[in-house]
Each structure stands twice: as structure tokens, then as C-alpha cells.
Amino acid sequence: MGCGSSKGNKGGAKNDNPPIEEIDVPDLDPRYPPPAPPRTNKDDFYKASDYASIDAQIKQQASRIDSSSYDSLLTALESFCSTDLQKLRAIFMWLFHQDVHGAFYSGVTDPYTPRGYMKLIKTANGSYATFFAQLCRTAGIPCNVIRGVGRGDSYSVGQTDMAGLKSAWCAVHVDDDWRLVHPLWAYFNEKQTYANGQRPPAGKKRMTVNEFFYLTDPNKMICFCLPHTEAWQLLKKKWDAKKFARSPQFTEDYFSSGLMLPRKYTAILQAENGICVIDFDNHAHEEPTVSADVAYDKDDEENSGESFPPGVRMSDYVISSSSSTRKTLAIKFPVRGQYIADIYGGRDTKNPKIVQFCLICEDTIRSPPPFPLRPEEGFGLRAGPASTLGVSDIVPESGIVLVRATQIKYFSFTITQPLEIQAKLVHDTASPADLDDFVSCQVTQHQGQVKVVVPEEPNLEFGLQISARPANTSRPHTVIASYLLVDENWRKKTAVVAPTKNINKSGSDAVRRALVAATQKSDIGRLEKAIEDFERLGLSDNGDLTRARHKLVELHLKNLRMRTLERKLDPLDSAIHAAKTSHVSSHLIDTKEMKDAEAAQKQLRRLKLYMHKVLALNKATISEIHRYHRPKPLVHNVMKATFRILGEPNAKIQQWSYIQTCMRQLGRNSMMTRVKQFDPVRLKEGQAKDAESYLDKTNKYLVRMCSAGAGTFYVWSNNMISEYQGKGQVEHLDIWQGNNKWTKLLNKVNVTNRSDATTRSRDKQPVVKKAEQDVHVPGPEKSVYGKDTDKANTGYGDFWDPNVPQSRHDGYYDEDDDEFTSGYDWNPNGPPSGRNNHRNG
């Protein structure tokens, strides 16, 4: 009997009568191995070229293979194979060559045959995933049907409601690992999904199978399909629905493009100050391309309240830039609203689509001009022409350069032959002739150089084009490099408001009077609102707005100075945030006041962090130190350093009884209160030197061996000295890691803690030397990240790189990577301070 791809028997009826009974095929077989991540990647064990012979035989024999029963079909298919992987490939390719939806099944009534189930598929009562699973099971290959949601063709980037995006695929167990196969998406051009419980309609059959969806790596499949059962993600680090919805909309071509998208990017990107920048990284030895088609989402026009201006081309507002290891897209937005960005590129000369984003622009300047220069090949070095002319090692390498008015910028490169160099600036309003005086070129024996004095223009955005030709020739100049020179503050977040239409004169007069009145006061919030209202109406300045902005700058600078001197973290945070989101933020970002405020902010955050372990000490631990009659010299030295920093006289702290008296104080004079309120700006040089000399006599590991509390005060004292010396380096508080040489040594010694707070049983205490009886061996502590430090160091990289083994990459985006981006400005796993290295162990 012929296969299901036949158009029916010769002379037979071309219909599908009579109807066929539906059957229920279990998705999962409980006898199969439990789901677990595969040990290797697809590229490690499978190459499509190795199966070319099987593919050819199946294609040739498909129409003659008996498909009247599963046994006859699988017997024929297995005749081509000797391994399970070959059998799996034969089944996969045989099913691909079946014209399931074009064939007729007149007289077929048994649903438990291959032709019977193909009839069920055609009548929307069966699925390719279930049929593939039945074929594999008959061949002795464990195969489960996995159900979940899929980002098919009906998915819109950024969509969070996945109810209508149901999909089914397969997990097959071959070579002792579970692998993923999506037959439907591998066979058809369309990525069909289930909508309203209905199976997807027939699509257009591909000419060849889509190899991406055959034995797909789990860390790639998760970007397309999220199973209902978490374990069938086959990932070590699982995704949830929120993470799945937030990830960008990749295509299969992304994973072979050679471009790596940093994890910070999500499906929906917010523009900053009317600009959106998307970066891709690539390996230095590769030269992938990148480009973008950006379109205004007209469906969002009602939400934005603005219509896209006629005659404006979005292509004029999109540019690309290249360096040896980074490709950048920069997008400006003519109006507020929602845009869809399709990104193309990679190593493939066909320039396929690789990822899609939804771009949201809530703030933009009024009528932003297009980019002054839009080279088709993008900004940066043009590798082909430059190589032909012997040009290399261009500096700067990036095609986008941040500048400020009147600044001098140099662009240099190495040459291997005499060249004539010319350069020109391009601006959206100024003519090239007017800008000639701002550019000059110089050529030496081995180097070419272009000098640019950045002109003062309201729109600080220029294109720079550098051309060259061999010296003493009449050949036309060839462009070897292009640059986009932009205001250094172009992406800094500035409050921008859109103009309001149809405001009467009385309303505008009231707004102007409110602005003048606010300018005469010293209320930042009131003046910010007055400026916002004034700019929204688009009123003429007449000097009122200029005076208001100058006053606002003065008020913010005064506030920053005051909060910096006050040295309280919360008010300082508020002052910095207010300045950075102000209407005059561009005039505040690079001021001395802002830099001083940010430096103080970082230091105060470090001080707060230093207190974390000190405040966590319980009374019993402190009481333990206080009760020592004759403390070990290590402990005494640490406490001398601590109280010397707190301002106690050097002569008095030599006596342990004096330190005990200080530790007994209560209220605002208590030790913990003094430590909590201490600010290193009050530390004097003599105090710091004395304290440092005491700490020089020991190290933190030996101190912690004697007393956990003393070890904590050691770290605090050491950090205070670092702050005084201006190093601001945090000494790692978690000193008891398993790979620490002191820990390994102490693990061999069974010692006890004599603290009253310890509740260990004394019945089984071993005999220890007298010198060891005050030694306390704490267990491994948690790092300030809330994780074991060694685990915190094994996170995923910053990029979704399909070439990295799966054990390091289970997906595109990891929220944990961003967990501390706004936290304390320090690295607990960083190198120790260079000062007193012997103290750092």
C-alpha cells in the first residue's frame, strides 16, 4: 500500500469518507527516564551532513514504503539504519515527505495505523507531535509529547497574554539524553500555534526541513517554547512565565549570526531622551553586519496622542556603528509612541532577520532632526576600502564619538603608503563649506591624522567623513571611515515634555506669571513644575525661561552641596535623583557638586555596608569579648584599633580594663551606637596611623580563630582606615570560604567556643590544648549577596552566546544578573587592598 503522500489510490475516490474515530494517545509514558538536562550540546553529537545518505534514501523510497501498519512502516525505515539516532532521523524525514494535508483517505477507518492517524491530522483531530511520538515509540525510542506555549507567527513582541499561543512538541530520549524536536515548525514555513483549543491549520510546506527545530538545544528552544511542566524545559536554571514574556523575540538565525545580545535587553525597550541604542557584541575575528527596520505602530496612535508626521522616513532616524568587537544601532524617534524594530544581520550574506523588539518612546525633543549622515555600511572603519589603501589601526575604533562644543578631537590611523587625506563635517543645518575651517588633515610617513574642533551648534550632532587616495594620483577619494559626533549628554535622562495644543492667551499668561513667581522663590519642586508647564505650551522665552533655568541650576547645586556636607544617605540619594531627572540635568551631570555628591553617596553606601556585620553581632558575642580577663594579644590589638578609631586616647586603650569600661557604656555612648554613627571624615591622621599599626600585628584569619566578634571589628577597622586613605575598598566579610587555607587547616582541629550564647553539647568535647580553648571556629558564612560566595561566582555570562556550552548558558536573560546594578558600589569578590597584604592573609 502506498504512503500517505499519495493523492489516493488510482481510480479511487478523492475524498476522506467515511469519518474516522478520534483516539486518545497519552502525552507522557511514566516508564521513561525522568526529564534531565542533556549533558552535551547538539553540535557536539549531531551533524546534518552525516545523515545525508539516509535523507536521500528516505526521499527516494518514501512513496513506496508500506504505511498500512506501524510495524510494516518501521520495519522498512529501520532497514536503512543501525543506530537509534539514524532511526530517529529516518522517522523524522519520512514524516516530512508525507503530503498529509494533500492526500485523500477514502476508506481509511482504522485510527491505529499510520494512514489512519494522518487522516486524523488532516481533519484537525490529530497533531504532528503526537504522530511523531507514536512512530518513535513503535521504533523503541522513548518519546513524550510536551505541551506549553509557543511564540508562533501570531505572537506580537512584548505580548504577555499567552492564552492563544498553545503549542506541542516532542522530547526524545537518544544516547542516554533527552532531546527536543518540534516537527510542525520544522516542516512548515509558518510557526503555527493552537488558538481557542483548535489545532493549527495546514501551512505551506518547506522545501527542506528546518534543522533548528530538530534536536534543538534546550537553552535555545526556551526562547521559543515554554512547557507547562517546568522540568521539561530540560534546563538547569529554569525560566518562569515572566522571564519568558520579557525575553526578546529571537529568530532561529540569531543563534548562528555571530552576534551576541547582552542580557540587559528585554522584549520592550524604553527610549532615553528620545534615543534608543542597541548593542551587539561579536568575536574580533568575525565581521557580522547589523541593520534595522523601524516602523511606527499605528495601532498605538490613540495611546500616544500623536500621529506620525507625513513625509518623514524612519530610515533617516536609524544608524549603525561598528568596531572590531561591537555592532551598535542608534534610533531616534520623530514622535512619542510605540515602534517595532526588526533587526537583521549576522554572517549570512542574505542578511536574515535575527531579533525583534518593541520600542517605547515616552519623551522626545520637539521635531528632532534626522541623523546628519547615514552611511549605508554604518559608522566606523570601512574595512574593504581601508585595507585596499593600506589603512589600519584607526583610533577611535567606535563609529559613535561623544563630544562637547569647542572640544578638540583627533582621529588617527596607520598607513603603509603615501596617501592624500581629506575630511568633511556634515550637519543638519550648517553647510559643509561653513564647517571646513573646523577640520584639518595631516599625513606623515606612517600615520594619517584628522583634527576636528567641534563647532558650537544648537544641535550638537555632526557626521564626519574621512576619505583617502594614493598620493600624486588623480583617482577619486574613497571613504575609509565615517563617524557620528554627538553631544556627550545625548542619552542622559532629561525631563522633556511634549507641547500642548490650542491653549488660549489667558492660560499662557497665567503659566508665564507662575514661572516668574517660582523663579523668585527657592522651591525646587515648584520651579520644576513651572518650567514643565511653560515648556509644554511651547511659549517664547523672552528671558523668563532662561532665568528660571539658571535659578533651577543654582538651587540644585546648593542642594547637592548641602546634602553632601550633611552626609546622610537618604537625603543625599533624593538630591542626586532630583538633579538627574531635572529639566536642567544636562547642566548638572558633570559639575563638581554632582561628582562630590556621587562620591559621598558611594562612600555612605559602603559605610552602611560595613555596618551590616557589626550590627548583626549579638550581645552574647560582644559580652564574650568584654568578659576576657586576659585576652589574647590579637584580640586586644583589634579592640585597641577599634577604640582608637572611635577617638579614645592611645595611652588609655593600652589597658584592657579601660577597653572593658568603654564596652560597658550604655545609650548614645555605647560601643555599638558609636560604631553606627561613626563617619571616617572625622578620623584624624594620628588615630588612623595608630589603628593601622595595631592591625599590622595580626591578620583577620588568626583573629577570627580567636573570636568571631573580634574578627568582625577587625574588618570594620580596616575598612575605616581604607576610607580615610581614600581607597574605599571593601574588605570581604566572608572570610570563611571552603577553599580558604585557614579553613582547611582548622577543619582538622575540633575546637569549641566558650561563648555563653553557644549551645553545643559538652558531653562529647575532645581534649584540646589549653592554648586553643579560647579559639572559636565559625562555619561558612553567607556573603552579602545572600548566596554562598563560590556559587555567586558561577553565574551566567553577560551575553546570550549560543557557542558557549549549555552548562554555562541556560537562556537569554537572567534577572539575577541585574540584582545589584543599583546596589552598593563594590565587589566582594574583587582583589584585596594592596595595603598591608600580610593582613589580608
- Residue 291, classed as helix, strand or coil, is strand
pLDDT above 90 (res 683) = no
Q: How would residue 461 be classed by pLDDT, with cut points 50, 70 and 90?
A: very high
Q: What are the DSSP E strand ranges found in 220-352?
A: 225-227, 249-250, 261-262, 268-270, 275-281, 289-296, 318-322, 326-332, 337-346
Residue 544: the pLDDT is 86
Helices (H) and strands (E) in the chain, counts: 25, 24
Is-same-fold flag (380-487; 609-784)?
A: no
The three-state (H, E, C) secondary structure of 490-506, written as one string: CCCCCCCCCCCCCCCHH
**Highest mean pLDDT (candidates 177-191, 273-287, 428-442, 708-722):** 177-191
Residue 615: the pLDDT is 62
Which one is predicted more confidently, 66 or 770? 66
Q: Where is average pLDDT lowest: 56-65, 93-102, 345-354, 712-721?
A: 712-721
Which one is predicted more confidently, 536 or 598? 598
Which superfamily, per CATH, for 380-487? Immunoglobulins (2.60.40.10)
- Return the ∠ at Cα 796 (arms to 792 and 797), rounded to 5°: 115
Residue 784: the pLDDT is 26
pLDDT above 80 (res 505) = no
Type of residue numbered 673: T
Give the C-alpha separation, 653 to 239, whole Å. Answer: 57
pLDDT above 50 (res 760) = no
pLDDT above 70 (res 820) = no
pLDDT above 60 (res 360) = yes
- The DSSP bridge partners found for residue 291 are 344
Contact present, 147 and 257 (Cβ < 8 Å): no
DSSP-derived letter for residue 479 is E
pLDDT above 70 (res 23) = yes
Give the C-alpha separation, 459 to 480, whole Å. Answer: 26
C-alpha separations of 564 from 523, 567, 599, 609, 724 in Å: 19, 5, 9, 19, 17
Give the C-alpha separation, 831 to 605, whole Å. Answer: 19
Average per-residue pLDDT for the chain: 80
Give the C-alpha separation, 251 to 60, whole Å. Answer: 31
Q: Where is average pLDDT lowest: 161-170, 456-465, 554-563, 600-609?
A: 600-609
Which one is predicted more confidently, 628 or 606? 628
pLDDT above 70 (res 717) = yes
Q: How would residue 410 be classed by pLDDT, with cut points 50, 70 and 90?
A: very high
- The DSSP bridge partners found for residue 166 are 149, 194
* Residues contacting 183, CB < 8 A, separation 6+: 92, 95, 128, 129, 131, 132, 169, 170, 213
Contact present, 645 and 702 (Cβ < 8 Å): no
Contact present, 369 and 363 (Cβ < 8 Å): no
C-alpha separations of 517 from 509, 513, 533, 548, 642 in Å: 12, 6, 13, 10, 53
Q: Checking phi first, is residue 215 left (phi over 0); if not, alpha (psi -120 to 50) or beta?
A: left
Q: How would residue 227 be classed by pLDDT, with cut points 50, 70 and 90?
A: very high
Q: Report domain 609-784's class.
A: mainly alpha
Residue 767: the pLDDT is 35
- What one-character-per-residue DSSP string does 400-448 give? EEEE-TT-EEEEEEEESS-EEEEEEEE-SSS-GGGGGGGEEEEE-SSEE
Residue 290: the pLDDT is 94
The three-state (H, E, C) secondary structure of 366-407, written as one string: CCCCCCCCCCCCCEEECHHHHHHCCEEEEECCCCEEEECCCC
pLDDT above 60 (res 663) = yes
Output the nine-digit C-alpha cell for 658: 579601660
Residue 345: the pLDDT is 94
The domain locations on the chain are 42-228, 380-487, 505-590, 609-784
C-alpha separations of 503 from 332, 364, 508 in Å: 28, 21, 7
Reported pTM: 0.61
Helix (H) or strand (E) holding 148: strand 143-150
Residue 610: the pLDDT is 63
Mean pLDDT for 786-808 is: 36
pLDDT above 50 (res 793) = no
